[in-house]
Amino acid sequence: MVVAKFGGSSLADASQVQKVLRIVSEDRDRKVVVVSAPGKRDKADQKVTDLLIHCATAQIAGQDPTPGLMALLERYRSLIAGLGLDKAVYEQIEADLSGRLASYGAVGAGGGGGLRNIEFLDLMKAAGEDNCAKLVAAYFTSQGLPAVYIDPRAAGFLLSDNFGDAHVLPETYRNLAAALGGIKETIVFPGFFGCTRSGKVITFSRGGSDVTGSVLAAALDAGLYENFTDVDHVFSVDPGLVSDPLPIPELTYREMRELSYAGFKVYHEDALVPVFNKGIPVRIKNTNNPAAPGTAILPSRVLSDDRPVTGISAADGFVSINISKLLMNIEIGFGRKVLEIVEDEKISFEHMPSGIDNISVILKESAAPPEVERRIVERLKNELDVGEVTVRHDLALVMLVGEGMLNTVGTTARASGALARAKINIEIINQGASEVSLMFGVDKKDASEAVRSLYHEFFEQRTQGA
Ligand code: ASP
């Protein structure tokens, strides 16, 4: 059994949805179809999820959400017309969107007893996937492929209470297996959202339909999780930075996890764990070119001798809090106390490179707004009696990722040599014991050039015989 997830560009208009039907009909193992909300039809277009966010924020701000609602209805109207679907499908979607908007309007911002703003925002965001799934199920059935829409709430797709960034609760797997196990028709399941234990609609972070597909694959013990998007494969580097980069035919879960962490957008960072736990292979494929083999994400792979590095990525938006204290290395419990201060702010740390008399805690800037950062620095100074605490903003992390690095001598030397030749100052170097990645902290303005110079070193030099 295969779970096939289709991203927003695969559902952007009627001709794309027709391709989805063709792909699903071609292989009867594709029993579960997970859909995103319709994406952009062209560069100037807007994703349905973004339209929903505009509509919701207008409502929250006390402005008229009608223009946003009209734009949304127009997207669904043209899909329904292009697919030759019944008017009733449109009416159902119209009623659904108006109902969601009204659930806020009746109460007003901050009003007692009604939806809080963040809850309302998630309820609105979820409408993109939810209505798309209803539409796709109706279309499949109309074309002779019996399909059922499944409501994630009814199927027990339970998520933690973090609105806009929820995580799967353990009982969800059991619930889904019980709810979906006996269904004979093709299942069309909306991605991106579930509900809290108290029944409120709640979403993952953006791009979270990948996570839905992965959870379903794990819950139903799928043999394969296919993730259909609009590229033939995962590239070894962002094609926006390097022209015509090498494709990656296969990569391991660990490699994908590291690359997604630092900016590879093709597969959501949180979508690896569910399939990883069950050892289910993932294949990234192109809806517009389904014959292309795509990229496989596997528990392990055969390593090639000549290429220690599989991919290179970079992400900015990090901040490093640097702590110096003489004789830190012999002070028992120092690291724990530093992390406790970070923990008290309810944020997780990303990395923690250290020397004998200094330690840095790297955080996401989005997780540590100025007042949080100030509190952390003050407590470090007051409670841990440290000599100096400095804060480095605008930090980018560049990741060199590859299982092959473990068995290759000299990767770090080659990488730092390449960065030196590009005149890029390396502020931090970090390599975990697993040696699947090598991380460089550089100034945000140098990140793109760093990626290009590393790509040149590890991917172009060898192929040119240099
Ligand atoms: N529609 C949502 C987004 O645009 C989720 C997804 O597509 O996976 O982020």
User: Which CATH number do you get for residue 372?
Assistant: 3.30.2130.10
pLDDT of residue 35: 98
Atom of ligand 1 nearest to the CA of 204: 5
Among residues 298, 332, 366, which one ends one of the domains? 298
Beta strands 428-431; 437-443: pairing state: antiparallel
Residue 226 to residue 38: CA distance in whole angstroms: 18
CB of residue 262 inside a 6 A radius of ligand 1: no
CB-ligand 1 contact for 37 (6 Å cutoff): yes
Q: Is the CB of 207 under 6 A from ligand 1?
A: yes
Strand pairing class (224-229; 282-286): parallel
What distance lies between CA 370 and its chain's CA centroid?
Answer: 26
Residue nearest to atom 5 of ligand 1 (CA): 207
Nearest atom, ligand 1, residue 208 CA: 8
- Extract the tokens encoding 296: 């496989």
Q: State whether 279 and 340 are in the same domain.
A: no
More confident of the two residues 454 and 407? 454
Ligand 1 binding pocket includes 206 (Cβ within 6 Å)? yes
Q: Quick one: pLDDT at residue 125?
A: 98
d(CA 391, CA 93): 50
Instruction: State whether residue 297 is helix, strand or coil.
Output: strand
Answer yes or no: do 267 and 373 share one domain.
no
Residue with the two structure tokens 């995962």:
234
Q: Do 293 and 407 lie in a common domain?
A: no
Q: What is the mean pLDDT of residues 189-213?
A: 97
- Report the C-alpha gap between 342 and 346 in whole angstroms: 7
H/E stretch holding 306 reads none
In a domain, 93, yes or no: yes
Tell whether 437 is covered by a domain.
yes
Q: For residue 304, is it within any domain?
A: no
Does one domain contain both 259 and 370?
Answer: no
Residue 465 has pLDDT above 50, yes or no: no
Total domains, the chain = 2
Which pLDDT score is estimated for 108?
Answer: 45
> Is any atom of ligand 1 closer than 6 Å to the C-beta of 38?
no
Residue to mutate, 49, 75, 125, 189, ligand 1, most ligand atoms under 8 Å from C-beta: 49
Can you give the pTM of this predicted structure? 0.89
Residues 188 and 109 in one domain: yes
Q: Is the CB of 8 under 6 A from ligand 1?
A: yes
Indicate if ligand 1 lies below 6 Å from the C-beta of 10.
no
What confidence category does residue 441 fall into, taking pLDDT thresholds of 50, 70 and 90?
Answer: very high
Domain that holds residue 134: 2-298
Residues 287, 227: one domain? yes
Q: Which helix (H) or strand (E) holds 252?
A: strand 250-252
Confidence of residue 406 (pLDDT cuts 50, 70, 90): confident
Q: Which tokens hold the place of 443? A: 């100034």
- The model's confidence at residue 263, banded by pLDDT at 50, 70 and 90, is confident
Q: What are phi and psi of 248, to 5 degrees?
A: -110, 115
- More confident: 184 or 104: 184
Q: Are residues 250 and 338 in the same domain?
A: no
Average pLDDT of span 393-419:
94
User: Which band of pLDDT confidence, cut at 50, 70 and 90, is reported for residue 114?
Assistant: low
Residue 303 lies in a domain: no
Cα gap 282→223, rounded to integer Å: 9
Could you tell me if the CB of 49 is within 6 A of ligand 1? yes
How much is the pLDDT for 105? Answer: 57
Judge whether 452 and 242 are in contact, CB under 8 Å. Answer: yes
**Given this model, what pLDDT does residue 462 score?**
54
The per-residue DSSP string of 36-60 comes to: -----SSTT---HHHHHHHHHHHHH
Query: Over 80: is that where the pLDDT of 424 sits?
Result: yes
Q: Do residues 278 and 378 share a domain? A: no
Q: What is the pLDDT of residue 183?
A: 96
Work out the average pLDDT over 225-246.
95
Q: Is 167 in the pocket of ligand 1 (CB under 6 A)?
A: no
Q: Is residue 388 part of a domain?
A: yes
227 lines ligand 1 (CB under 6 A): no
Average pLDDT taken over every residue of the chain = 93
311 neighbors 255 (Cβ within 8 angstroms): yes
**What is the Å distance from ligand 1's center to 161 Cα?**
19
Ligand 1 touching residue 4 (CB < 6 A): no
Position 355 in a domain: yes
Q: Does 35 fall in a domain?
A: yes
Residues 356 and 272 in one domain: no
Last residue of some domain: 265, 298, 331? Answer: 298
Helix (H, G, I), strand (E, B) or coil at 369: coil
Residues in CB range of 295: below 8 A, 6 or more apart: 233, 234, 247, 248, 249, 250, 251, 283, 284
Which SS3 state, helix, strand or coil, does residue 285 take? strand
Share of the chain above pLDDT 70, in %: 96
In whole angstroms, what is the distance from residue 79 CA to residue 10 CA? 12
Task: Collect all residues with Cβ–Cβ distance below 8 Å to 432 and sequence separation of at least 6.
Answer: none
Query: Does some domain include residue 306?
Result: no
Q: Mapping DSSP to helix (H, G, I), strand (E, B) and coil, where does residue 113 land?
A: coil
Across 150-165, average pLDDT: 97
Question: 283 and 338 share a domain?
Answer: no
Q: Report the atom number in ligand 1 closest to the C-alpha of 205.
A: 9
Closest ligand 1 atom to Cα of 206: 9
Q: In this predicted structure, what is the pLDDT of residue 166?
A: 97
Mark which of 272, 298, 324 sits at the end of a domain.
Answer: 298
216 & 336 share domain:
no
- Testing ligand 1's pocket by substitution, the residue of 122, 129, 227 carrying the most ligand atoms inside 8 A of its CB is 129
In this structure, the answer to whether residues 202 and 122 fall within a common structural domain is yes
Residue nearest to atom 8 of ligand 1 (CA): 207
8-60 residue pLDDT tens? 999 999 999 999 999 999 999 999 999 999 999 999 999 999 999 999 999 99
Q: Which two tokens stand for residue 452?
A: 């290009």
Q: What is the pLDDT of residue 464?
A: 45
pLDDT at 432: 78
The CATH number of residue 291's host domain is: 3.40.1160.10
In the predicted model, is pLDDT for residue 169 greater than 70?
yes
Three-state DSSP at 389 gives strand
Res 150 pLDDT > 90: yes
Closest-CA residue to 13 (of 91, 78, 85, 84)? 78
Q: For 67-113, how does the pLDDT look when each residue is reduced to its tens digit (9 = 90+)?
A: 999 999 999 999 999 999 999 999 999 999 999 999 885 544 444 45
